[in-house]
């Protein structure tokens, strides 16, 4: 059998890293993005630039890294989109943080056409995309996952198949809701410590050796907060979106989550003080939050 070909839709900081890893692992890799600058960067890494319709027609596995579920749906359902142009057996892998209901609907439409759709949001940020060390949370049919697996292995280090279509999105929203909450709770714990005369670095050394630790205390604070870098590559706007989607999911399924409701409100209210483009770790500086 010929080697699988990859099409990457969306060549932002995440998509470009995944496309570059596809090239590095020997896959014929196509890319598409509305920004000529991003396309040029991809071409410099060996990616073959194509328009969307041609990319879908040429790709066995499509990797999408797009901003919202609406954009994903448009790309899949457009007259020249994935459903219309992809060859039978092709699989669309949506690495965006999207909505479970949208993913389930698109998976059903793809199945009717003899195509696959997998929701596989990722954790690890731009650095993980560039290094090929992402963690993927996967929802989809086992057969479609098997078809795409050689490509997923090229762009990620861990792949966790959570369940059927939409399950990957649920897992990602749960994860990011926890990250959003942990940023708030760790920031309050640090403020308490410093108010009581113990420097943040010292108390975090204790927390990280004890049961209060989290990825925020172990990674975010030393890498992006304590040194004032705030350059994680993930923005306030993106985290606000993810927390909002998690809150919407809770309302949709009727889950009573009073702590999460407070977390969602704090993140939403922070928009008055922290612009969407700011690094998401800046929430720890928002001392005016309720």
pLDDT digits (tens, 9 = 90+) for 23-80: 999 999 999 999 999 999 999 999 999 999 999 999 999 999 999 999 999 999 999 9
Domain spanning 5-163: which superfamily?
NAD(P)-binding Rossmann-like Domain (3.40.50.720)
| Both tokens assigned to 173 | 């929203």
Which tokens go with 66? 């797009």
Q: What is the pLDDT of residue 2?
A: 55
172 catalytic? Reply is: yes
- 28 three-state secondary structure: strand
C-alpha torsion sign, points 97, 101, 104, 107: negative
Q: What is the pLDDT of residue 288?
A: 59
Q: What is the pTM of this model?
A: 0.92
Instruction: Supply 120's token pair.
Output: 């596989």
Q: Tokens 């870098």 identify what position?
A: 229
What topology is assigned to 170-285 in CATH? 1.10.1040
Three-class DSSP category at 93: strand
Q: Do 9 and 65 form a contact (C-beta atoms < 8 A)?
A: yes
- Taking the C-alpha atoms of residue 193 and residue 207, their distance in angstroms, rounded to an integer, is 11
Q: Residue 111 in contact with residue 144, Cβ under 8 Å?
A: no
Cα–Cα distance for residue pair 129/165, rounded to 1 Å: 23
Low-confidence ranges of the chain (pLDDT < 50): 1, 289-290
Q: Which of 25, 45, 88, 172 is catalytic?
A: 172
Task: Give me the pLDDT at residue 79, please.
Answer: 97
- Please tell me the predicted confidence (pLDDT) of residue 252: 95
Residue 3: per-residue pLDDT: 81
Long-range contacts (CB closer than 8 Å, 24 or more residues apart) made by 239-243: 239/176, 239/179, 239/180, 239/267, 239/280, 239/283, 240/267, 240/268, 240/270, 240/271, 240/276, 241/68, 241/97, 242/97, 242/172, 242/173, 242/176, 242/177, 242/180, 243/176, 243/177, 243/180, 243/267, 243/268
Q: How do the domains of the chain map onto residue ranges?
A: 5-163, 170-285
Q: How far apart are CA 191 and CA 185, in angstroms?
A: 10
Same CATH fold, 170-285 and 5-163? no
In the 8-state DSSP scheme, what is residue 282?
G
């Amino acid at each position: 059998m010929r080697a699988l070909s990859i099409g990457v839709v969306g060549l932002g900081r995440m998509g470009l890293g995944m496309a570059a890893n596809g090239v590095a692992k020997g896959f014929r890799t196509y890319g598409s993005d509305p920004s000529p600058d991003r396309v040029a960067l991809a071409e410099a890494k060996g990616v073959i630039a194509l328009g969307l319709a041609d990319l879908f027609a040429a790709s066995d596995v499509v990797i999408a890294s797009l901003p919202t579920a609406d954009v994903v749906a448009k790309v899949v359902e457009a007259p020249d989109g994935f459903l219309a142009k992809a060859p039978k057996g092709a699989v669309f892998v949506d690495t965006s943080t999207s909505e479970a209901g949208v993913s389930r609907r698109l998976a059903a439409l793809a199945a009717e056409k003899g195509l696959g759709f997998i929701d596989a949001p990722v954790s690890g940020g731009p650095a993980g995309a560039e290094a090929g060390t992402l963690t993927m949370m996967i929802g989809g049919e086992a057969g479609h996952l098997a078809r795409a697996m050689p490509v997923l292995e090229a762009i990620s280090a861990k792949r966790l198949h959570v369940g059927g279509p939409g399950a990957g999105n649920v897992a990602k929203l749960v994860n990011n809701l926890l990250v959003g909450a942990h940023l708030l709770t760790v920031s309050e714990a640090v403020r308490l410590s410093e108010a009581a005369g113990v420097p943040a670095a010292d108390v975090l050394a204790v927390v990280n050796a004890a049961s209060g630790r989290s990825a925020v205390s172990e990674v975010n604070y030393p890498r992006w907060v304590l040194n004032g870098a705030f350059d994680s590559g993930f923005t306030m706007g993106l985290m606000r979106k993810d927390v909002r989607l998690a809150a919407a999911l809770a309302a949709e399924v009727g889950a009573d989550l009073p702590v999460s409701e407070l977390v969602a409100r704090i993140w939403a209210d922070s928009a008055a003080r922290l612009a969407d483009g700011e690094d998401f770790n800046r929430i720890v500086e928002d001392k005016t939050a309720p």
